[in-house]
Copies of this chain bind each other. A is one copy, B any other.
Amino acid sequence: MTSQEAEKRINGKLEAVYKDILWLEEAELKKSRFKDLSIKEMHTIDAIGLHAEPSSATVARRLHVTAGTLTVAVKNLVRKGYVERRHEQGDGRVVNLALTRKGRLMYRAHAAYHQKMVASFVTGFNDHEVGLIESALDNLLSFLATQR
């Protein structure tokens, strides 16, 4: 079958995309006003998010890292002025994380970059076709979920 061929091509393209995105995001970062952040730090900011003030444990789970790893990362982000620690009312053990003004600026810049990227992804497709692309992503997500 010829679809085998297509799968191979798609695999190659996915890999190319995969390899480049992280690297490009890092390069983009170094050119921006947020030079002092690594790509991992940016993703930590992303995982904290704008609104919910998640606990340290929640963010660690989102990032698939241990609590200890996150503690260190947050310490650096606090020092650099992107993140604030807040002690939870009523349970003195819990530390909630929130972005500072600077952190929120960073978050939005990153989100804008992603938006541009996705816009390019679906350029030239009609609604129905965009729906197909979305379904393909859903397939992949289901597959990944079964693996977890």
List chain A positions with a Cβ less than 8 A from chain B. 2-3, 6-7, 9-11, 13-21, 23-24, 27-28, 43, 63-64, 114-125, 127, 129-144, 147-148
Contact = CB atoms under 8 A, between A and B. Distances in A.
Contacts of A120: 139-140, 142-143
A132 B132 contact: yes
A110 to B, nearest CB: 11
Contact of A137 (B10, B117, B134, B140): B10
For this chain, the copies found in one complex come to 2
B123 A24 contact: no
A64 B19 contact: yes
Contact of A136 (B11, B122, B127): B122
Contacts of A139: 120-124
A interface majority secondary structure: helix
A76 to B, nearest CB: 21
Contacts of A2: 127
Most buried by B among A6, A118, A131, A144: A118
B140 A117 contact: yes
Contacts of A138: 13
